[in-house]
Structure 1
Amino acid sequence: MRLAAVNIDGVLLTDTFSPVIHRFITRRGAEYSADVEREIFSQPQHLAAKALGVAAGLDWSVPELLEAFFEERDAYLSDHPLRVQDGAVELLRRLRAQGLQVICYGGLRKEHFDRFLGEWEDLFDGPRYVCTDEIRPGIREISADVFGLGFDQVLFIDDVARVAEAARELDVAFIGHASDFEHGFQGVLMREAGVRHLVTSPAEIDEELLCLVDAEAAAGAVWIR
């Protein structure tokens, strides 16, 4: 492998989307389920907003839904400040020590990366951060278009099953990072998608695991099939 692509929210930074989406839906008396997460998570914002409206029973426009959601998120962040995950910076250094180039990606604009990870931008390569809102999940674009690599040369680390499913279709190496959100379903959904390696902390992605995934990628055995 030559490149590690690491998701920003939920892997390098704490998960502030799952709890807000859950609260947005349940406080309006609607049900939160695995199917709801499937429809919303790691979708372009306009599609996620539509799915959020359906789940919450709201007949609002996309701009109205996005405005309400981000207001809800701001309120959540006032009590639960966003922070860098324990062990995240050490993971980046470990990836580089393995000889990998490193890129960060996510659905928010680069200002989000600059604000929370700009202090460590020297640990990233190329454009350092790719906003995938319009190209989600972005596996093909990051691998081939940005770095010119084959799918067997890239490792993705993400917390969402939709990304895992796309990685499996392309036979891309993948490590799942399950959120600790108590009402979340992504860990279960990633297992259902065939994710072989699922961690709960960046610290669990150690040198031994990286070497194992590298060997599995070379053998075409990354996924449980």
Structure 2
Amino acid sequence: MTLSHLRLVAVNIDGVLLNDTFSPVIHQFIVGRGGRYTAEVERAVLSRPRLEAAAATGLEGSPEELARAYFREREDYLREYPLRVQPGAQALLTVLRGLGVRVVCYGGLDRSHFDAHLHEYAGLFDDPVYVCTDAVRPGIREIAEDVFGLRCDQALFIDDAASVAEAARALGAAFIGCPTDYEHSFQEQLMRGAGVRHMVRSLEEVDEALLRTVDAEAAAAAVVGAGRG
């Protein structure tokens, strides 16, 4: 049976469908250059447009120089800790297909990143399959309204960044948090501070029961919002 209210589920690529290879490198990059790594710095850097994120590190150098250096360091990291599809990713996408919602992947890197690591799952997504959000981070409104022609309250976002949770809440979109377990990360703490109701440790926890719960909450919130309008 299809969901009653939600029409779109947007799933973040890095840190959700793929393992988190950004948080460790961001921490290493800042601390290794003498910077202080705090919740405020992480919030300002993670899931932001790359030049904005680079400027927010507080390190010496232009945003362009810092971004280039960061991605060089990330390539070194990936040689030792490669990208991999997270356990439960295919099962989640299969469940979503059975619930009658449209499904899209999104993230800050370009489409080639998706094609390199998730091409075998492309058939489980709806056109355009992948949306690059680097220029429009966090991209809630752009994905829901501009790409799919839906209201934000008809969309669910599954992401590892608290800043996306905050934007989703402000726009009335549903949200499931999947914060990294990286030891230096503040994302779980920041999500709790943002009032995120649903947080999971793994994609296996995002089952049909949870999705129907979120759907019912989205429907109820939309009714309340309409009444206030």
Same fold (TM over 0.5): yes
| Structure-2 separation of matches of 1:129 and 1:30 | 34
- Aligned residue for 1:49? 54
Q: Which moved more, 1:106-115 or 1:23-32?
A: 23-32
Matches within 5 A, 1:18-57: 18-52=23-57, 54=58, 57=59
- Aligned residue for 2:227? none
- Aligned residue for 2:83? 82
| Structure-2 separation of matches of 1:46 and 1:22 | 17
* One-letter amino acid of the counterpart of residue 35, structure 2: A
- Aligned residue for 1:171? 172
Spell out, residue by residue over 1:60-88, the C-alpha distance to the aligned partner (whole angstroms, 9 max, x if none): 12221111101110111111001111111
SS in 1 for 2:83: coil
- Aligned residue for 1:98? 99
| Structure-2 separation of matches of 1:183 and 1:74 | 20
Q: Does 1:9 align with 2:14?
A: yes
Cα drift, residue 216 of structure 1: 0.6
Cα drift, residue 26 of structure 1: 1.2
Cα drift, residue 186 of structure 1: 0.5
| Structure-2 separation of matches of 1:84 and 1:133 | 21
Q: Structure 2 unaligned runs (5+)?
A: 1-5, 223-229
Matches within 5 A, 1:121-200: 121-200=122-201
SS in 2 for 1:174: strand
Cα drift, residue 49 of structure 1: 1.1
- Aligned residue for 1:67? 68
Cα drift, residue 158 of structure 1: 0.5
**Aligned residues: percent identity?**
61
Q: Structure 1 unaligned runs (5+)?
A: none
| Structure-1 separation of matches of 2:180 and 2:104 | 21
* One-letter amino acid of the counterpart of residue 72, structure 2: E
Spell out, residue by residue over 1:113-153, the C-alpha distance to the aligned partner (whole angstroms, 9 max, x if none): 01001111000001000000001111101101111111221
**CA-based RMSD:** 1.0
Cα drift, residue 38 of structure 1: 1.1
| Structure-1 separation of matches of 2:194 and 2:134 | 22
SS in 1 for 2:36: coil
Cα drift, residue 99 of structure 1: 1.2
TM-score by length of 2: 0.92
| Structure-1 separation of matches of 2:121 and 2:35 | 40
| Structure-2 separation of matches of 1:132 and 1:29 | 30
Number of corresponding residues: 217
Cα drift, residue 97 of structure 1: 1.2
